[in-house]
Amino acid sequence: MNKRQLKEVSRTGRSVLKFHTLGAARAVTGSLYLFELFERENTTRFLVDAGLTVENQMDDFKNRLPAGLEPKDIDFAILSHAHVDHCGYLPKLVKDGFRGKVYVTPATADLMHIILPDSGYLQEEAAKRHRARYERDHLKVGTVASEAGDNRSSRRQGEKSSTRVNMSRSNRARKEQMASRVAATRGANAADQSSSNASPRFQPLYTQEQAQASLKYLECVDYDTRFSVTDSVAFTFTEAGHILGAAVVNLEIGTGSQKRTFCFSGNIGRPNMPLLRDLAPVAGADYVMVESTYGNRLHQVRDRFESLASKLNSAHERAKVKHPKFGCGVILIPAFAVGRAQAILSDIRELMESGRVPDMPVYIDGRMTLAATQVHRKYARDMGPETRALLEAGKDPYAPPRHALIEEWRDSDALHRAHNEPIIIVGSSGMAAGGRIVNHLKYWLGGKQNTVMFVGFQGTGTLGSAIVRCSKGERPDSVDAATQTANTVRVAGVPTRISATIDFIPDYSAHADWRDTVNWLGKFTRRPKKTFVVHGDAEATESLKEHIEDKLGWNGVVVPDSKQVFEL
């Protein structure tokens, strides 16, 4: 606000609330929203969500706040859940000076203790790879230039050796000139290298240690508990039904007749999903901000147990046929460490215990998956009634009859052997973008008796997307068929033949589709003044906007631009 506006606030006592869409506006990731409340006595600034930008990671190296504001100017933050595109920017804010409290649900806090240090580790590893690749390529160019210069100098020296003695000074002059040129080339290369090492892609956004340090600012608030941060700002978390700990953020900003209410959906889940409670209704708000990941799509309505059982039984039949070298087949299930892995393990357990699929060994591979599963065991109170009843009875929902926990890399590599019976390996990441599942794919993709079963969204450019695209079966609606089905994909840089069967089960998506979202909004007891549609690609956001207008008759539905400012 300028000085004149501030004077007006001071004179009249009328507060001004500004809302900035700093991330996930006309984009899918990078959730970041700033509220500024200007009152006669105070100015309060706070963030809702602080997520990484997956579409363009270089954006996160910049100051994403409005011009003139720094992280130290932010008083506090409220985070909806523990996915990195909603919480992964926090360590960067703390690194740059933010020192406020960060309010989360207890389960979100525990998951962030797993996810953020892992994000820092991945940031460091990515920076090392970029730097090593640059130095390798750069030094190779420098060496070639240097050797070419040395060869030309030697050649000229040999040619001049048979000339008269009075040419020796000219030889020396030419050699000195060539040496000067080579030195200049090397110096320029060194300067380029020094300059490039300062480039963001050669440095981590934050380190594992810095991510760990940011966790001390977390403060837990339970669901359905109104929490007053200041005299003018309060909020209530309600169940989002997306992942463990995910919350809809219901804000109260201002006092008396000048109070505004604002509902931020975060990411909201589908009804009747495994493990979790359903999305809770919200009575209403003056302003609503809703995600639109599936704003132009509808999920299939079918029995997920029947679908999973059918796929697993077919995979087991293929896997029973022994290969003379590799033994029985393997069923690989790439699954996100938080939420998806636990859901698929719970359903596999139930199908095996009921006899609907054969009892076979299940290997749960990866420290992050194991740690996230332990957090799921801790929060029985946040689970749906069936899962809560199992936990309270002392039964582990995430433990198939014959399962093994794989913590170390060497134990994961040891699975690359001939097996006497079909086995299942569940590991992250869900899009096969990294982790141990990549090594398993590299080893097992070439076997006809093997199956790779994807159970979630496959982002553009990921290995998972490339593999699913090559399949002839069911694909996520985000992945188109290849014009000619390929036989190979590059796994860890190595061309790898696909002979395994590729399956896809869309029933485990954790996002509401447009009908689910409209049904939830339709339970509001009063229409909001304005509705902001965020977190989706162009087609999804515009489609959800139209559905809200057509089905609910709401006015003031907008798709905000990045860094747009609204006065509420």
Lowest mean pLDDT: which of 153-157, 505-509, 510-514?
Answer: 153-157
Given a cut of 70, whether residue 474 has pLDDT beyond it is no
**Strands 330-334 and 287-291: what pairing?**
unpaired
Given a cut of 50, whether residue 196 has pLDDT beyond it is no
The verdict on 520 and 502 lying in the same domain is no
The verdict on 246 and 388 lying in the same domain is no
For the entire predicted model, the pTM comes to 0.84
The verdict on 453 and 365 lying in the same domain is yes
pLDDT digits (tens, 9 = 90+) for 106-161: 999 999 999 999 999 888 887 887 788 777 777 655 555 555 555 555 555 554 44
How many C-beta neighbours within 10 Å does residue 191 have? 10
Q: In b/e form, how buried is each residue of 34-48, taking b as 16+ CB within 10 angstroms? A: bbbbbbeeeebbbbb
The verdict on 175 and 46 lying in the same domain is no
Q: How many residues does the chain have?
A: 568
Given a cut of 80, whether residue 21 has pLDDT beyond it is yes
Q: Which residue has the higher pLDDT, 40 or 304?
A: 304
At 182, the pLDDT band (50, 70, 90 cuts) reads very low
The verdict on 441 and 536 lying in the same domain is no
**DSSP secondary structure letters along 82-131:** SSHHHHTTHHHHHHTT--SEEEE-HHHHHHHHHHHHHHHHHHHHHHHHHH
Q: Which residue has the higher pLDDT, 174 or 453?
A: 453
Determine, yes or no, domain membership for 394: yes
Which domain covers residue 255, as residue numbers?
14-105+221-298+511-561
The verdict on 382 and 484 lying in the same domain is yes
Task: Report CA-CA distances (Å) from 458 to 126, 439, 444, 513.
Answer: 21, 18, 20, 16
The verdict on 389 and 355 lying in the same domain is yes
Give the N- to C-terminal CA distance of the chain in Å, as an integer: 14
Q: Report CA Rg, the chain.
A: 29
Is the preceding peptide bond at 478 cis, omega within 30 degrees of 0? no
H/E run at residue 438: helix 436-444
**DSSP secondary structure letters along 451-467:** EEEE-S---TTSHHHHH
Interatomic CA distance for residues 85 and 29, integer angstroms: 5
Mean pLDDT to the nearest integer, 322-347: 92
The verdict on 502 and 371 lying in the same domain is yes
Given a cut of 90, whether residue 55 has pLDDT beyond it is no
Work out how many domains the chain is built from and give that number.
3
The verdict on 528 and 429 lying in the same domain is no
Task: Report CA-CA distances (Å) from 440 to 18, 414, 423, 471, 491.
Answer: 50, 11, 13, 18, 10
The verdict on 391 and 503 lying in the same domain is yes
The residue type at 44: T
Domain boundary among 508, 527, 543: 508
Interatomic CA distance for residues 498 and 332, integer angstroms: 13
Structure tokens at 40: 């006669």
Given a cut of 90, whether residue 40 has pLDDT beyond it is no
The verdict on 369 and 386 lying in the same domain is yes
Mean pLDDT of the chain: 85
Mean pLDDT to the nearest integer, 255-263: 92
The verdict on 504 and 525 lying in the same domain is no
How many C-beta neighbours within 10 Å does residue 367 have? 18
